[in-house]
Structure 1
Amino acid sequence: MSAALDAVPSWFWTALAAVLGAVVGSFLNVCIHRMPRDESIVRPRSRCPGCRATLAWHDNLPLLSWILLGGKCRGCGMRISPRYAIVEIATALLFVAIWRVFAPAEAFAYTLFACGLVAATFIDFEHFIIPDRITLGSVLAGVFLSGMTPSLQNAERHSAGALWSLAGAAVGYATLRLVVEIGKKIFGVKRIEFPHPTEVFLTPEGLRFGDESEAWENIFSRESDELRFGAIGVRLGERTWDRAVIRVRWKEARVNDESFPLESLGELMAVTKRIEIPREAMGLGDVKFLAGIGAFLGPQAIFFVILISSILGSAIGLLMMLAAKRGWGFKIPYGPYLAAAALLWLFSGSAWWSAWTRGLSLF
């Protein structure tokens, strides 16, 4: 049997990995679209986001259908985002690279890992979140697979593989959580100054002023977060205040010392020249994502991943800021850069680690 498999040309295995990757990429597109919306990734079948028509099997062939249909729905002609093709191509390329570099048992684990990286990257780009099903699922999968295949952690015993994986998850979570807390102390408040008194509206859904609006769930990341500002005029229903201090938390809005449940607030209008909005250096989804990365790559990868992702994020964020002519306050997702750094370590980590240890030995 082994001799027969050895006789199979390498291009066949490469093509098989590419096809399998494209098929899995098609499923990842379902996850990317549905997970942030809390929809089932199993039912219903794939459908057009415009006319909602269920796609026939020949309209749902990975990559091929998108090309043949010109990136449009056969029924309504709505343009289908090129993201679908990009995800399928990226997953196919990753599958090929992984299966050409690693032994079968390791390749199986790392293709699952790559799937999590791809899904997290595109969800974070679009929604600025990374679902727990991906982050915590990666931790569980990494520990389990490292126990089954200890060579993932350069270990020989199954128990050692699982323990090194747990250590990687713990180091990843603790390190980035420390960065988040330090960032909160330094950058925890975003101050917005208006050139003249401006009407600010508070509703049960979120904050609105001018053409800007933000949902409360995007403002408050923890229970201690508070939006606050002084107002020179406030109106809530038939009540008015000449001057007041406004404080808003997850469940309540306060006007001076009076408290109002946020869910039944109605619409509060306040006139102010400045507001202070709580913010985080990064989301906790990124912290849990790095824990999942550590579970697969081990603790030795963590500082490399943080360093490289920070460099990538800063450089690309600066270019985006200059291209869009926006200030320092706009949001960029960090998950994609963690994923890119993790892949760099996956394919060249041993070389980086050897260079690092050789450098330390000089001291």
Structure 2
Amino acid sequence: MTWFDEVSIALPWFFPMTAALFGALIGSFLNVCIYRIPKNESVVFPGSHCGCGKPIAWYDNIPIFSWMILGGRARCCGRKFSFRYPAIEFLTAALFLACWLSFPPGKAIAGAVLCSIVICAFFIDHDHMIIPDAFTIGGAATGVLLSILLPALHDQTHELYMVASARAGREAVLGMFVGSALVLWIALFAEVLLKKEAMGFGDVKFLGALGAFVGWKGAVFAVFGGAMLGCVWLIVALLFQKISGRSSQAGLRAETPDGQPAELGLGVHVPFGPMLGVASLLYFFGLNRWIDGYFGSLEILF
């Protein structure tokens, strides 16, 4: 019995709690990434600071709890902090905990990285209608590397680690190319039919990154599952906009083709990256059982 098994038996709460606490800390860092990366600012220097310019003390920068203790306001000047900051920290903690409880350690670690990439891409795309290369090209490279180092990410096991590693790496590369190629062709066909750009190239690269983590079947599902999620989100946002008359509060950003803010409706651009990311996580956390079975039945037919 290893020390890991001994600790798990003696203190069954230790590793899940560690995963959640670590997730909250990472969530705090993701907040920095979401805010600074679109501005091409360093995520390291300077340290966390208030909008008034004063540094935030470490005891006022404890994930989730500091926001609650301070009532969502800065100690130095009383400036309000968005509820989104603790929400992202809590979301990251919950997803890290879900990874640990759902998967063996290797896959849980890789899954935590996937969740972090999706969270950053989700909010940056929602806010700015872009997905930085750090989460697309960088995410794809990270997915392939983690697949090779942690073949359990693609459920590859073999008595020889090198064999399992090679198989997982193959799945990651295949998922990366199938995912990006599928979205690229959809975008090209849509552009021909609509006579205008229908999808940003960032979405193409982002699905390639997701495919490196969830394989080609997960990438294919992310496209069509993301489209379904997008339709639901769009319908809800349109209903809210119509009932409340507040387009800015409809929960879904929209822009004209030339990048100007717009109300939801025909002919405007909305972010698709969040839908791709959420669909890939749904696949990763359990829908793969049904989706993979569906693809298996198709293989039998052909």
Map of 2:224 onto structure 1? 307
**Structure 1 match to 2:66:** 65
The alpha carbon displacement at 1:80 in A equals 0.8
* Mapped contact 1:321–1:328 kept (Cα < 8 A): no
Superposed counterparts of 1:1-363, under 5 Å: 1-49=3-51, 51-155=52-156, 156=158, 157=163, 158-189=165-196, 280-325=197-242, 326-348=264-286, 349-358=288-297, 361=300
The farther-off stretch of 343-352 and 27-36 is 343-352
Q: Which amino acid aligns with 1:4?
A: E
Distance change >3 Å, CA 2–CA 21, structure 1 → 2: closer
Cα shift at 1:302: 1.8
How many Å apart are 1:362 and its aligned residue?
A: 6.2
Distance across 1 between alignment mates of 2:85 and 2:15: 24
* Aligned amino acid, residue 45 of structure 2: R
Provide the rounded CA distance (Å) in 2 between the counterparts of 1:360 and 1:169. Answer: 21
TM-score by length of 2: 0.85
Instruction: Name the counterpart of 1:214.
Output: none
Contact 2:8–2:15 under 8 Å retained in 1 = no
> Percent identity among equivalent residues?
38
Aligned to 1:333, what secondary structure does the other structure show? coil
The structure whose RCO (Cα within 8 Å, separation 6+) is larger is: 1
Displacement after TM superposition at 1:161 (Å): 1.6
Structure 1 residue 329: Cα displacement: 2.7
Amino acid at match of 1:98: C
Aligned-partner Cα distance in 2 for 1:27–1:79: 19
SS at 1:44 equivalent: coil
Q: Which has the higher helix share?
A: 2
Determine the C-alpha separation between the residues in 1 that align with 2:202 and 2:182: 14
Counterparts of 1:132 and 1:64 in 2: how far apart (Å)? 32
Deviation at 1:315, TM superposition (A): 1.8
User: How many residues are matched?
Assistant: 272
CA shift at 1:44, angstroms?
Answer: 0.3
- Indicate if the aligned counterparts of 1:71 and 1:82 stay in contact, CA closer than 8 A: yes
Distance 2:4 2:44 in 1: 37
1:130-176 Cα offsets, whole Å, 9 max, x none, are 10011111111111111112232233422222122111100111100
Q: Which runs of 4+ in 1 moved over 4 A?
A: none
| Distance of 2:49 and 2:73 partners within structure 1 | 12
Determine the C-alpha separation between the residues in 2 that align with 1:317 and 1:188.
Answer: 22
Higher Cα radius of gyration = 1
Using the alignment, how far apart are the partners of 2:219 and 2:206 within structure 1? 12
Residue 360 of structure 1 and its aligned partner are, at CA, apart by 5.6
Distance, in Å, in 2 between the alignment partners of 1:6 and 1:107 is 15
Gaps of 5+ in 1: 190-279
Aligned AA (1:26): S
Give SS of 1:132's match: coil
Rate the CA distance shift 1:3–1:297 in 2: closer, same or farther, 3 A.
closer
> How far 1:359 sits from its partner (Å)?
6.0
Letter in 2 for 1:42: V
2:204 counterpart SS class: helix
Shift, 1:96, TM fit: 0.4
TM-score, normalised via structure 1 length: 0.71
User: Structure 1 61/165 Cα, relative in aligned 2: closer, same or farther at 3 Å?
Assistant: same
Match of 2:245 in 1: none
State how far apart, in whole Å, the 1-side matches of 2:5 and 2:134 are.
41
Specify the code of the residue in structure 1 equivalent to 2:30.
L
**Partner residue in 1 for 2:247:** none
Deviations 1:332-356 (A, max 9, x none): 2111111110111101113321244
- Cα RMSD (Å) of the superposition? 1.7
